[in-house]
Amino acid sequence: MAKFGVEEILKITKGKLIQGDRNTVFEGVSTDSRTIKEGEIFVALKGNNFDGHNFIKEALEKKAKGTMVEKKFSIESNPKFCIIHVEDTLNSLRELASYHRKKFNIPIIAVTGSNGKTTVKEMISKILSAHFSVLKTPYNYNNQIGLAHTLLEMGTNHEIAVFELGINHYGEMEILSDMVKPKMAIFTNIGKTHLEFLESPLGVLKEKMDLIKDFNEENIVIFNIDDPLLRERFVNSRDIFSLISFGVENEADFKGEKLSFSEEGISFRVKDVDFYLPLIGKHNVYNALCSIAVGSIFDIPLEKMALSLKEFCPPSMRMNLRKVKGEKEFILIDDTYNANPNSVISAIESLSLFKNSGKKILVLGDMLELGKESYNCHREIGLSLKDKDIDIILTFGKHSAVINEMVKNFKNINTALHFDSYSTIIDFLKENIENNDVILIKGSRGMHMEEIVKGISEIEKVSVI
């Protein structure tokens, strides 16, 4: 955890000490009054729906030594409590993180892309942690605040850092890249995400490329050669940094071959070494290949990486398989963390290929942040369901209604229904689930499709596969 003195903070942020002792040293930096620890400084961030300045007194009650503010503020009852005024608290938090990051000369790996960022970050960490002390972004803390906090956790015990970088507006990637200063950049794929703000996949690509704007011959880029936009960007390019490719369909530095899928996992081969993932979905082969490429850079043998990945557990709400046991026994696939056209199509393919003797039920919520392309993207999902081995389609949300209308005429779909509440979907599933059925639930974060997962999970005892 980074420690800062008042004088140091004033120099870094060009702030002004309003009250308190200039010799004070803070034991850490916090932006959350609920979890702040004794001796830390509380940075009062201000957003559209919150204002940290309203929680300064709570931080003081928990024995914080001071606060950083952008609004006029004072606590006359405690003159020793340091108050540092800055122009912009979020910008100052980034400055503190950047300053701290520059103290360390360790390999930093930045993972970005439209899909798979968190899973790839976790796979890389799983492989590297068997041989090195690794710092990683917790959960999916991939924005300015989350990355700043992770950077501030960097210490002399860390040998490698793996950061996940997420954006949804123009200009954000440059800010994140300037903070992290990565040695390696990983591009998982480029798809139709955040089109409300980035307009098109080309807009997504353009913004993502700001991650490597300062790369030189000492840097490394790892990319998915099967992704059309990434292939066009990097293959036969004149970039001075090193390029490493991974893929399944095209020739690559790390190519997955002999793929075999079962209801419990995936087998594949890389450079004559057999790998097994206790996951479903072809997209997870790509995630693994990317991670294997990283491990090879650090001279980890393929056989040891295979052992690490064999024990990999996926992040929460990302294609998590659960066996529901009781009066009815069925499989629930929880993929509710988020959704965009690419990830939904991958999920549909995974469900279609799943081997079971019962029905296959797909529950889809809206895909959000697609702007003017929302109708076309949802229609694309409807078209992708034609001829798939799926029996029942249940949709939820105003945008997904078009999916329901399209699939009603598909001969392969036995039932297509649209719902306007979680409870009605849960009731339908409770009445229609039978032994050996498989249910996959997916939707954008804002749709909170995990509420349906909870409703189903309450039916019987659930165990994670």
Tokens of 26: 């803070």
Q: What is the mean pLDDT of residues 263-278?
A: 95
Q: Which CATH superfamily is domain 4-87 in?
A: MurE/MurF, N-terminal domain (3.40.1390.10)
Residues 9-22 pLDDT 10s: 999 999 999 999 99
Residues 125-178 pLDDT 10s: 999 999 999 999 998 899 999 999 999 999 999 999 999 999 999 999 999 999
- Residue whose token pair is 């979890």: 35
**What is the spatial distance between Cα 286 and Cα 259, in angstroms, rounded to a whole number?**
11
Q: Is 459 exposed, middle or buried (0-12, 13-18, 19+ CB in 10 A)?
A: middle
Nearest CA-CA partner of 338 in 123, 192, 135: 192
Q: What share of the chain is helix, strand, coil (3-state, %, to 5)?
A: 35, 25, 40
**What is the spatial distance between Cα 298 and Cα 126, in angstroms, rounded to a whole number?**
13
What are the extents of the domains in the chain? 4-87, 104-310, 320-464
Give whole-number Cα distances, 306 to 22, 44, 90, 225, in Å.
53, 45, 41, 22
CATH topology of domain 104-310: UDP-N-acetylmuramoyl-L-alanine:D-glutamate ligase (3.40.1190)
**What is the spatial distance between Cα 159 and Cα 267, in angstroms, rounded to a whole number?**
31
> Which uninterrupted H or E stretch holds 232?
helix 228-234
Q: Cβ(223)–Cβ(111) under 8 Å? A: no
pLDDT-based confidence at 446, cuts 50/70/90?
very high
Nearest CA-CA partner of 332 in 342, 323, 340: 323
Q: What are phi and psi of 62, to 5 degrees?
A: -95, 15
**What is the spatial distance between Cα 399 and Cα 396, in angstroms, rounded to a whole number?**
8
pLDDT value at residue 74: 84
DSSP designation for 372: G
Question: Which three-class secondary structure state does DSSP give residue 344?
Answer: helix
Instruction: Say whether pLDDT at 461 is over 70.
Output: no
**What is the spatial distance between Cα 249 and Cα 285, in angstroms, rounded to a whole number?**
12
- Residue whose token pair is 């940075």: 43
Q: Which CATH superfamily is domain 320-464 in?
A: Mur ligase, C-terminal domain (3.90.190.20)
Pairing of strands 134-136, 160-164: parallel
Q: What are phi and psi of 337, to 5 degrees?
A: -65, -45
Residues 293-306 pLDDT 10s: 999 999 999 999 99
Question: Which three-class secondary structure state does DSSP give residue 362?
Answer: strand
Range name among 92-106, 162-176, 316-330, 420-434 with the lowest pLDDT average: 316-330
Q: What are phi and psi of 69, to 5 degrees?
A: -130, 160
Instruction: Say whether pLDDT at 316 is over 70.
Output: yes
Fold agreement (4-87, 320-464): no
pLDDT value at residue 463: 53
Neighbours of 54 (CB within 10 A): 11
pLDDT value at residue 139: 85
Length of the chain: 465
- Residue whose token pair is 């499709």: 449
Give whole-number Cα distances, 144 to 16, 34, 115, 181, 302, in Å.
23, 20, 19, 14, 34
**What is the spatial distance between Cα 68 and Cα 15, in angstroms, rounded to a whole number?**
9
pLDDT value at residue 372: 93
Strand partners, 30: 42
pLDDT value at residue 148: 97
